[in-house]
Each structure stands twice: as C-alpha cells, then as structure tokens.
Amino acid sequence: MKIAILGTGFISRFYVESLVAQRRKDEVTMVYGRDEAKAKKFAADYNIPNISTNLQEAASHKDVDVAVIGLANDVHLDAVLACARAKKHVITTKPLGRNAKEALQMLQAVEKAGIVGGYLEDLCYTPKFLKSLAAIKSGSIGEVIWAKSRETHPGPHSDWFWDKNRAGGGAIIDLGCHCVEIARNFIGKNIRPVEVMCWADTRMHPIDAEDNAIGLVKYANGAIGQFEVSWSFRGGMDLRDEVMGTEGTIWVNNFLRTGIEMFTSGKTTSYVAEKAESTSGWLFPVGDEVHELGYNNMFSDMFDAIEKNKQPAETFYDGYIVNAILDAAYASAKSKKWEPVIIEDWRGLKEVKQKHEYADYDNNYYLIKEEILPSGEKKTIVKHKQTGSIEKR
C-alpha cells in the first residue's frame, strides 16, 4: 500500500511508527500538514518523499492508495470527503464524527465512492482484546451479561480537545468512543444498542465539556455495556475491561502494570509511556507500546481488507454506531433519563430474544444456587417451576 498520512500531530506519529516498523512492505508516500515546517520535519523524520499543505492535493496524489486520517475531530468530515472525491480508500482515527450526523455523512460518502472506510479503533486490536474476543466468540464465558470498559487519564495534550465545539464534547467523545466499541464487540455487533443512561460532570477543569462520565448502554438482548471515562485520573493511563458472562469472566488490563516494573531515582529521564505522569520512582513502562495499543494488528487488518476487497473488522459503519450511542449518552447526561439510541440505518439483527434458560435441578425444580460453606455444609437452593416457592435442599 502507498499511504498518505493526513496530520502531523501525536497520533500521526504513533501511526507512522507502526507503519514503518517491522519491515512492513507498505510505504508512507505523502504527508499532509497545514503547517509546512511541521510537515517537512515529519517527512524528514520518516523519509516520506512528498508533502502537501492542501488536503485535496494530498488525498488525490498519484502515489497514494489509501489515506490515514490523524487530524483533529473537526477536520475528519472534510478529510473524508476529500478522499471520497479522490476515490482513495480512507481509514480514520476515532471518533469517526463529532456526532452521528457527521459520521453518517462520512459513511454515505465512502459507500457512494465505492472505497473502503476503515475505523481506526486501535483498542479493538490489542493482543489482549483479540484473545478475549476469540474466547467469547468460542463460548468460553457463555452469554455476555455485562461488559465494562474504562479509559481514564489526566487529560489530552492539545488545545482543540478541550474546546467542546471542535472536539464534539469532552471525555465522553474522546475516550467513551473506545469503551463503547470494546463493549459492543464483546456483547455482539449485530445486537442493537437500544438506550443509554449517563452521568457526566465537569469536576476539575475550567471547560464547558465534561471531564468525567459513566454510562450504561442497554442492548436489545438485555446485555449492558458500561463505560467509565475521566480526564482527571491521576497516575497515567488506565485502560481496563471486565466482561461478565453466564459461564465465566474476563479481566483485561491493557496498559498499566503490563508486566514491567522499574524504579529510577529520576536523575536521568526518558520517555516512559503515553500519559505517564512521572519519570521517577516506581514506573510501569510498556514493552512495545505501538503493539500493545493494537496499531500493528489494526493496520494489517485494514490493508489486508483493502487488498482483498473486503471490509476490515472495524468500519465506518461501526464508527457511526458508536457516534449514535454517544449522542444518546450526551442526551441522557442532560435529561438525566434513559435516552434512545437513534440509528437511521440499522444493519444488524432486527429482533433478538432475551434468553431465560434456567438450569434444571430436576423435572419439578430449577436450581438457583449451590455452595459449600466454611462449615463443610453443602447448600442447595431451588425454585418450584409451577408454584414459584423457593426452598433449601
């Protein structure tokens, strides 16, 4: 693949680190940046042969097969439309839009142009996520009842994130998009998200957007996806997931405490990990950050999909559904009520039965609970199928 990188900021550098690593056959041939000096520096750092300060020119360049968007949230729509006009495949960082309306416009533009629209939801490509998802799909933990995902850190690194209009919101749009898509994968992407209840508040920063929030997303099969986000968490970047199934449990810690613990006096300093707050004392570095955050698997999936003319695991459609869920979260934070997820174009299952398959104790009774107590006594609690009476055996 010949790749154009649109953007020269934080995420664009992460992306290019992944794209030029490990003797990949893919080549970054173009970088777009509105600031020419930054674009030149970026091109020099990664040996990129072409630069442009014009979005359309960058996307349309003859040596570009696919454009990677790493621009601020308020530029995603324009950048996608430029790629659609140029009929160049486009893969876009999260969140897809600032809201579902923008996301739907992007989805429709790529579908009309006949190009692939990939959604760069890196946390749905981490080695730990992929292992967990495979376990869930093979039935290891039964039916998922509840999937919780948490992303918290001390706040983002650029001015535009803190501007509600430019970013589309605060911690919910910035971090909730990851959490929602993680839980949605675990619960099942073809299950319709129905409604959302969300608490959000601005606790620590002088901004109009929320810096803390918790939300519950109810799915058509009764499952609950929970997101917890914060821009005021102290101590680095906390990325954790918990999945509770009828037959098992999965706990994932994606970033902090991944296996390396290091102490340093602080007399010499070096980069530790994204959003690490300290460079001395006990530290928790991350072995291969680009890989642990899913970038390598993500780009392999995206480029394989384009080459084989199929859809990647994370598409613009997924980005659109995430935006629709987050719109409902913002509505709920305002109304303080459950708010419906409005999806104009639902492509998953139309109807899903909520499962109620209780375990039999015998022909007449359901089994509620069996437990061995510290005394050694075994307790069995059952319920009569007809009368409903609850009894001890």
Ligand X SMILES: NC(=O)c1ccc[n+]([C@@H]2O[C@H](COP(=O)([O-])OP(=O)(O)OC[C@H]3O[C@@H](n4cnc5c(N)ncnc54)[C@H](O)[C@@H]3O)[C@@H](O)[C@H]2O)c1
CB nearer to ligand X: pick between 11 and 86: 11
Question: Reduced to 3 states, what is the DSSP secondary structure of residue 290?
Answer: helix
- Residue sitting closest to ligand X (CB): 9
CB nearer to ligand X: give 122 or 301. 122
Give the residue with the Cβ less far from ligand X, 33 or 170.
33
Q: Which CB sits closer to ligand X, 15 or 303?
A: 15
CA distance 293 to 259: 15
**C-beta atoms surrounding 168 within 10 Å:** 24
**Greatest CA separation for the chain:** 78
Taking the CA atoms of residue 294, residue 295, residue 297 and residue 298 in that order, the dihedral angle to the nearest 10 degrees is: 100
Q: Which residue has the tokens 């970033």?
A: 255
Per DSSP, helices labelled H in 94-202 are 100-113, 127-137, 164-167, 171, 177-187
Q: CB within 8 A of 357, min separation 6: which ones?
A: none
In the list 8, 185, 212, 221, the residue contacting ligand X (rule: CB under 6 A) is 8
3-state DSSP call for residue 289? helix
Number of residues lying near ligand X (CB under 6 A): 19
27-32: strand order across its sheet: 50-52, 27-32, 2-6, 66-69, 89-93, 117-120
Instruction: Give me the least distance between CB of 22 and ligand X, in Å please.
Output: 19
Give the x/- contact pattern for ligand X in 123-162, rule: CB under 6 A: -----------------------------------x----
Of 181, 69, 173, nearest to 117 by C-alpha is 69
CB of 13 to ligand X, least distance (A): 8
CB of 387 vs ligand X, minimal distance in Å = 55
Cα–Cα distance list, 159 to 6, 19, 203, 230, 371 (Å): 19, 27, 18, 17, 55
Stretch that binds ligand X, among 30-38, 236-244, 323-331, 332-340 (CB under 6 A): 30-38
Cβ(106)–Cβ(92) below 8 Å: yes
249 C-beta neighbours (distance < 10 Å), count? 9
Which lies closer to ligand X via its Cβ, residue 109 or residue 141?
Answer: 109
Nearest distance from C-beta of residue 203 to ligand X, angstroms: 21
Integer Cα distance of 306 and 288 in angstroms: 26
Binding mask 62-101 for ligand X (x = CB under 6 A): --------xxxx-x-----------------xx-------
Binding mask 155-184 for ligand X (x = CB under 6 A): ---x--------------------------
35 vs 63 by CB, closer to ligand X: 35
From candidates 33, 117, 170, 245, binder to ligand X by CB under 6 A = 33
Q: Which of residues 280-319 bind ligand X (CB under 6 A)?
A: none
Neighbours of 376 (CB within 10 A): 6
Interface positions, 350-369, toward ligand X (CB under 6 A): none
Provide the 10 A C-beta neighbour count for residue 122. Answer: 24
CB of 183 to ligand X, least distance (A): 17
Which residue from 19, 58, 113, 122 is in contact with ligand X, where contact means CB under 6 A? Answer: 122
Interacting residue with ligand X among 1, 3, 4, 7 (CB under 6 A): 7
Name, in order, each residue with C-beta under 8 angstroms of 328's C-beta and a sequence gap of 6 or more: 193, 195, 196, 198, 217, 339, 340, 341, 342
Q: Which CB sits closer to ligand X, 188 or 319?
A: 319
Q: Which is nearer to ligand X, 1 or 71 (CB)?
A: 71
Angstrom distance (rounded) from CA 70 to CA 11: 6
Determine the interface stretch with ligand X among 2-10, 126-134, 242-250, 360-368 (rule: CB under 6 A).
2-10
Judged by beta carbon, residue 29 or residue 73, the one nearer ligand X is 73
Measured from the CB atom, the residue of 79 and 113 that comes closer to ligand X is 79
Give yes or no for residue 10 binding ligand X (CB under 6 A).
Answer: yes
Residues that bind ligand X (CB under 6 A): 7-12, 33-35, 70-73, 75, 93-94, 120, 122, 158
